[in-house]
Structure 1
Amino acid sequence: MFANLSSRWSMSCPNIHREAEIKAQPMTFLPQTRPHIAWWPHTTDKRVASYRLRCLQVMNGLQERGYKTSLWNPDRELPDVLVLSKRFDSKSIRTIVEIADENNLPWVLDFCDNYFDVDINDTFWLDRKRSLVNAAENATSVVNSSRALSEVTHRNCSLKSSINVIADAVEPMVPMGLRSMFSSPSLILQASLYAARMKSSFPDRRRRLVWFGNAASPHASGGMSDITALKSTLEKVHQKKPIQLTIISNDLPLFKKLFSGWHVPVSYLPWSIHTFSWLLRQHGTCLIPANLNEFTLCKTNNRLLTAIEHDVLPVYDPIPSYLEFESFMPAGVNMRNINKAITCDKPDDLISQAKEFAKRKYGLQSILNQWESLFNGIFS
C-alpha cells in the first residue's frame, strides 16, 4: 500500500487545488485596530506538544507583535476571533456554534492529527470523527498542520472555505537552568549521571542514538513500538560499530516490556520539559521510524525539526512532511542510513544546512506571519 511513498507524495502534494497554503505575508491591521485573538485548546498541559507548538508559542509570539491574545473559556468575554486548538468534542462545538451564531463571532478550528481514518468498530473514535466533521463544517475557517492532513480533511468534510495549512514552528531549546534544578532536582541528577556514564562508554557522539516521543497513541498504532522493528538492524550495527540507544518517553512499564533481551545497550529516561533539550543534545543520531499508516502519513515534521534544532542528525522514515529534507539526509530508517549517520565525516555541516532551511521556512516569525495572514483574511 505504501510502496514508492516518496515519489507518490512528492508528485501528488503540489496538486491540491482546493488547499490554501498560507504564504508568509505581513499583517495589514493598524496597531490600534488589531483584534483580540483567544485560543480554546483541548489541554493546557505543557507536556503536550500540540499545546506548546500550536497554541502557547503562537499566542506569545503574537503578543510580542502587539496583539492581545489569551486563553478562553465560555465564562470570559468574547474575543474578536476564537481559535479552537484540537478541541472538537461535541459539547464544546455545541457551545461555540451557539455563541458564534448569537454574536457573529468568527472561529477557527485548528487540528494536527488524522482523526478521520479510525476503526469502524470503535464507537468512541467514530463519535470523535463525527464531532470533528461537524466542527470543521461549522467553523469559519479550518487550519491543518500538514498538506497530507488537509487532503484527508477535504475528503471527509464539506467546508465553508479552503483549508489553511500552517505547519508547526521550530520549537527552541529549553536550557536546563536554575529553575529546572529547583523544580526537578531528582530528574536533573538522573539525567546528569546518565549522560556522564554514556559519554564515558561512548565518547563518539555519533554513536549515541536516541528516540523520543509519546509511548503510544490512543487511536493509532505507533510510538515506542516503532523502534522494536529495528531490533535486528540495530543489533547488526552494534556488532560492527558499538552503539548506545536512549529512549526518552513517558511509559517505563512499556519500555521494560518492549526492550527486554536486546543485544544493544538500551536505556530509558522519562520525558521532562526541564531535561529534554539538554538530554537530546548529548546524542548525535536521532532515530525517527514510522509505522506508515493513515495516521502517520498526516503527521507534521516537528520531531525532525526538533532533532535538527538540537544539533542531532535525524534518520527518518519517508512520511510526506519529512521529504523536503531529503537533500540533506536520505529518507529511510535502515542499516545503510544508520551506518551513514554514525560514521558521517561532517555531521555538523549537514545539520547546519538543514537548520538554516528549517529556520527560513519553519522559524517562529514565518509561522506567525501565516497566522496573521489567516486572521487578516477573516476580517477583510
Structure 2
Amino acid sequence: MTYTGKGRFAFYAKRYSRRKASIRLRLLEPMAAMRDLGVKVRLYPKVRGPQGLDAVVISKAFGRGAEKAIRAVRKSGCGLIFDICDNRFANNRVKGSAKHARRTNMLLTQADIVTVPTAVMGDLLAASAPDIADRIRVVPDMLEDVSALGDMRPSFLERRRLRRLRDFLDDHSDALHLVWFGNNMTGISGVGQLDDAVARLKAFAARHPVTLTIINNKPAVYREASKGWDIPSFYMPWSLIAFPAALKMHRAAIIPVSRNDYTAGKSINRPATAIMAGLGVIADSIASYEELRPFIALDDWEEGLARYAFRWDAEQPRLTQAREHLDRHYGRQHVAERWAHVLEEAGARKSAG
C-alpha cells in the first residue's frame, strides 16, 4: 500500500514516555516513520482538541483524559481509533475488577476501528467485546531498534550497573549466559513465573554451567523468586539507555510463556528484540512466535540450550535469516504504511459523514 498523502492525524496517550515499550513501539516510533512517508501526524493537542484532524488514535489510555478526548473526537465527527496491545479484559479478570472490564468495553466500543498487534489478540478482545469484532485491524509492533537506543550515553549509575553485570559474567566465564527481560503481571507473567524455566536451566547445568540475568524494574520480586533457583543469577534494573548494552552481553534470551488469555495474544516483540540484538532465543510457543520456529528454539529447551552452548557458530546463519525475516515483515516502512492505511480508513469516515 502506498500512502496517498491525505488527512491529518493525531495520537493521544496519557503520557508520552519513551520508557514504556508500548509508547515507543506503538506511538512514537510509528509516528516518526509515518512522517518519513509524508503522513501529517502529531501528538494530540489536548488544549485545542481534534479541530482540523481527520482521525485520532487513543493509545492504550483508559482514564478520564482519554474519556474527555473521545467525547471531543466524537463531537467533532472525525474518525476514532483505539489502539490496544494487551488483553485488558484478562488483566481485569485476574484483578477481579468487573467495573474496569465494563469501562474497557465502553471505551473500545466507541471507536470506529480497534487496532491490535496480532490477530489472536483481536479474537481475544472480540470474545469479551463482541461489538468490536468487525472493527478490528491488525497493525504489528514496530521493531525495537536496540542499536539506536545504544547511541545514547549511559549515566554514571548505569555505567556502574553495567560494570557489575560484566564482572558477574566474567566470574562465570565458562557458562552459557542467558537473559530474561520483561514486565511482571502478577499471576500471569513475569519473574514470579520463572520457576519451571529455571528448573530446566538447572538440569542443563549438570552438563554445562549457565547464568541467568533478569532485566526489569521489580527487584523485590526477583529477590523473592530467586531464593530457590540454585543457579548463578544477577538482577539488572531496566533502563532505556543501558538495556541494549546489557542485552548484548548475553548469548541467548529465554522466554517462557505461561499460557493464558493474557499471554496468548502477545506480539513477536520480545523474541524479535533479542534476535535483532544478535542473541539466540529459547521460548515456549504462542501463535505469534510460530513464524520464528525455523530460526530459534521453540518448545525444546534442552536442545535449544545445547545449540547455543555447544554449536553457537552453526547458529549464526539461522539468526541472520531471522533478522532478515523480521526486517522484511516488521520493518519500519512496512509498519508505517500499515498505520497510514488504517488512519486513512478512519479518516474516510469523516469525509463520508
Q: TM-score, normalised by structure 1?
A: 0.84
Q: Provide the C-alpha distance between the structure 2 equivalents of 1:303 and 1:186, rounded to a whole number of angstroms.
A: 26
Contact (CA 8 Å) 1:144, 1:165: kept in 2 or not? yes
Contact (CA 8 Å) 1:176, 1:275: kept in 2 or not? yes
Q: Secondary structure at the match of 1:315?
A: strand
1:187 equivalent in alignment to 2:155:
no
Deviations 1:39-59 (A, max 9, x none): 111332222110110001011
- Partner residue of 1:85? 59
How far residue 309 of structure 1 moved from its aligned partner, in angstroms, is 0.4
Q: Provide the C-alpha distance between the structure 2 equivalents of 1:186 and 1:101, rounded to a whole number of angstroms.
A: 46
Q: Provide the C-alpha distance between the structure 2 equivalents of 1:217 and 1:333, rounded to a whole number of angstroms.
A: 25
Contact (CA 8 Å) 1:287, 1:333: kept in 2 or not? no
Q: Secondary structure at the match of 2:325?
A: helix
Q: Provide the C-alpha distance between the structure 1 equivalents of 2:58 and 2:207, rounded to a whole number of angstroms.
A: 51
1:209 equivalent in alignment to 2:178:
yes
Aligned AA (1:294):
D
Contact (CA 8 Å) 1:289, 1:333: kept in 2 or not? no
Q: Provide the C-alpha distance between the structure 2 equivalents of 1:112 and 1:299, rounded to a whole number of angstroms.
A: 8
How far residue 81 of structure 1 moved from its aligned partner, in angstroms, is 1.4
Contact (CA 8 Å) 2:199, 2:229: kept in 1 or not? no
1:141 equivalent in alignment to 2:113:
yes
1:269 equivalent in alignment to 2:257:
no
- Partner residue of 2:261? 294
- Partner residue of 1:70? 42
How far residue 340 of structure 1 moved from its aligned partner, in angstroms, is 2.7
Q: Provide the C-alpha distance between the structure 2 equivalents of 1:326 and 1:121, rounded to a whole number of angstroms.
A: 30
Contact (CA 8 Å) 1:142, 1:163: kept in 2 or not? yes
How far residue 240 of structure 1 moved from its aligned partner, in angstroms, is 1.4
Aligned AA (1:273):
L
Greater CA drift, 220-229 or 364-373:
220-229
Q: Provide the C-alpha distance between the structure 1 equivalents of 2:166 and 2:104, rounded to a whole number of angstroms.
A: 43
- Partner residue of 1:7? none
Q: In the TM superposition, what are the counterparts of 1:116-127 in structure 2 within 5 Å? A: 116-118=89-91, 122=95, 125-127=97-99
1:164 equivalent in alignment to 2:137:
yes
How far residue 200 of structure 1 moved from its aligned partner, in angstroms, is 5.7
Contact (CA 8 Å) 2:275, 2:281: kept in 1 or not? yes
Deviations 1:206-258 (A, max 9, x none): x11111111x126x521112222223221121121011111111111211111
Distance 1:337 1:176, change over 3 A: closer
Contact (CA 8 Å) 1:288, 1:314: kept in 2 or not? yes
Q: Provide the C-alpha distance between the structure 1 equivalents of 2:197 and 2:10, rounded to a whole number of angstroms.
A: 43
Q: Provide the C-alpha distance between the structure 1 equivalents of 2:93 and 2:38, rounded to a whole number of angstroms.
A: 46
- Partner residue of 1:43? 15
How far residue 93 of structure 1 moved from its aligned partner, in angstroms, is 5.0
- Partner residue of 2:323? 355
Q: Provide the C-alpha distance between the structure 1 equivalents of 2:300 and 2:61, rounded to a whole number of angstroms.
A: 33
Aligned AA (2:54):
D
Contact (CA 8 Å) 1:99, 1:105: kept in 2 or not? no
- Partner residue of 1:340? 307
How many residues in Structure 1 have an aligned counterpart in Structure 2?
A: 343
How far residue 77 of structure 1 moved from its aligned partner, in angstroms, is 4.1
How far residue 274 of structure 1 moved from its aligned partner, in angstroms, is 1.1
Contact (CA 8 Å) 1:137, 1:160: kept in 2 or not? no
Q: Provide the C-alpha distance between the structure 1 equivalents of 2:94 and 2:26, rounded to a whole number of angstroms.
A: 31
Q: Provide the C-alpha distance between the structure 1 equivalents of 2:247 and 2:318, rounded to a whole number of angstroms.
A: 18
1:128 equivalent in alignment to 2:100:
yes
Q: Provide the C-alpha distance between the structure 2 equivalents of 1:353 and 1:265, rounded to a whole number of angstroms.
A: 32
Distance 1:156 1:269, change over 3 A: same
Q: Secondary structure at the match of 1:28?
A: coil
List runs of 5+ in structure 2 lacking aligned partners. 349-353
1:56 equivalent in alignment to 2:48:
no
Distance 1:160 1:253, change over 3 A: closer
Distance 1:84 1:101, change over 3 A: closer
Aligned AA (1:208):
H
Q: Secondary structure at the match of 1:229?
A: helix
Q: TM-score, normalised by structure 2?
A: 0.90
Q: Provide the C-alpha distance between the structure 2 equivalents of 1:121 and 1:203, rounded to a whole number of angstroms.
A: 41
How far residue 145 of structure 1 moved from its aligned partner, in angstroms, is 1.0
1:27 equivalent in alignment to 2:3:
yes
TM-align CA RMSD: 2.1
Distance 1:348 1:203, change over 3 A: farther
- Partner residue of 2:341? 373
Contact (CA 8 Å) 2:143, 2:273: kept in 1 or not? yes
Equivalent of residue 154 in structure 1, options 119, 126, 140? 126
Q: Which runs of 4+ in 1 moved over 4 A?
A: 118-123
Q: Secondary structure at the match of 2:132?
A: coil
Equivalent of residue 331 in structure 1, options 282, 287, 298? 298
